[in-house]
Amino acid sequence: MTLAGKHVAILGAGRSGRAAAALALRAGATVSAWDAASLDAFAGMPAGVEVHPNADEAQGREVVSDLLVVSPGIDTFGSYVAAFSKQTGEVIGEVELAARFYQGRIVGITGTNGKTTTTELIARIFSHVGLDGTACGNYGVPFAEVVLQSVQPAIVSLELSSFQLETIRHLHPTVSVWLNFAPDHMDRYPTVEAYRAAKLRIFENQTAEDTAVVRFGEDLPAIAAKVVTFSTINDAADWFSDGLVIRHHGEIVIDLDRDTSLRGLHNAENAMAALATGQALGITISAMREALQGYAPPPHRCELIRTLDGVEYLNDSKATNLHALESALRSQTRPVVLIAGGKEKGLDYSPVLPLLRDKAIAAVTFGQIARPLAGLFGSVIPCESVSTLADAVATARNLAPRGSTILLSPGTSSFDQFSGYEQRGNAFRDLVHQLF
């Protein structure tokens, strides 16, 4: 792709926008950056970029560009992007821009839940065998930053959100990974089908020479790539796990307790997706087993905080939607006292009730959604509604007998009381460590 002598307009002044601007500059373009935020938001923007703080839609309609690069945090189909698109040649995202300058192979990972852990596992496997498979995209560093390196890695482990996939055109994964799908981001998408359509774009540029690693039983359209499946439910899949061991075509290849620090069915799925990816690229099982040793899942994903009075405290603050909550519950082997709640996102939580009845002995809800959630959960198990996370921890402790697990798995976002799931998880960790 040549950008010499062309005008590239960058929409969004965050890290993704800065990386895209730097890449476009290096390619010889004239670059402008636009954001509705104040000038402070442009700190770190590369020298030579014309910056436009406090940019509104009226200004956008006047901008003439050859290429508009939209940051993933900005709604692709909203009126703001529409204004800046009025006089542009093409609209893409930072990931697509980077892909057009990248010379190596791409492993693309998407799914409603589990993307980050799987991206880390795949990058760890690549690193172990000397492929230097940098983790990037929606996790790690922006893809454009990787492409800007003096020596590009031969392969990347690229986490792809639905927001990033909306704006791809030519991005071509050698291996695509589809972990799962469940309704989410209904505050951005008009329908579940629109959200799913964005996710499915991960497959559209693959050919019969490529591989698609998918969860067994997912309702997917015809895929050109060779399909490899994994499951924790149906042993007819190519890769299967009961949460204790991982089998490939019936043969045990990984003992999760002995060979890894991964626990729970959801982590077994992430591990199988990573193993299937490595095998598709010719990496041996023994090398991948070595790579997984010592790996610890990222914080806020069923993270064991401590055991007190025979009760485990698990931090799953990353569970910001119903599917993540279901995955966390399904993976538990001890009776659960669930802590859930947060922002009202318009999700239907009734599908979790059978699993809640099976896995939990009680629940505590908190935050903006506390009362309606308690009314629903209370139809199948004892449930108390409180205001804050601190109240929830104290109440859950009184409800949890020895041998049980107190599981923070909110099932929604944190923005009613916290700046993000990380702050919420850290607060939970601090509260648990203060118990005596």
Residue 58 CB contacts under 8 Å (≥ 6 apart), including other chains? 83
Residue 7 CB contacts under 8 Å (≥ 6 apart), including other chains? 29, 30, 31, 32, 64, 65, 66, 67
What's 201's DSSP letter? G
User: Residue 87 is encoded by which pair of tokens?
Assistant: 């006089």
The answer to whether 336 and 405 have CB atoms below 8 angstroms apart is yes
Whole-angstrom distance, CA of residue 85 vs CA of residue 210: 33
Q: Is 138 a catalytic residue?
A: yes
Residue 166's nearest CA partner among 146, 188, 181, 182 is: 188
Whole-angstrom distance, CA of residue 405 vs CA of residue 397: 10
Whole-angstrom distance, CA of residue 318 vs CA of residue 411: 9
User: Residue 77 is encoded by which pair of tokens?
Assistant: 């189909």
The answer to whether 325 and 410 have CB atoms below 8 angstroms apart is yes
Distances (CA, A) of 175 to 116, 212, 220: 16, 6, 16
Distances (CA, A) of 173 to 159, 225, 407, 428: 11, 10, 36, 38
Whole-angstrom distance, CA of residue 346 vs CA of residue 342: 12
Distances (CA, A) of 298 to 258, 317, 421, 434: 19, 11, 13, 22
Chain centroid to Cα 320, Å, comes to 10
Q: Is 172 a catalytic residue?
A: no
The answer to whether 96 and 167 have CB atoms below 8 angstroms apart is yes
Q: Which of 7, 52, 128, 185 is catalytic?
A: 185
Whole-angstrom distance, CA of residue 230 vs CA of residue 180: 11
User: Residue 27 is encoded by which pair of tokens?
Assistant: 């390619």
Q: Which of 138, 180, 205, 267 is catalytic?
A: 138
Q: Is 115 a catalytic residue?
A: yes
Q: Which of 7, 52, 115, 199 is catalytic?
A: 115
Instruction: Give the catalytic positions in this structure.
Output: 115, 138, 185
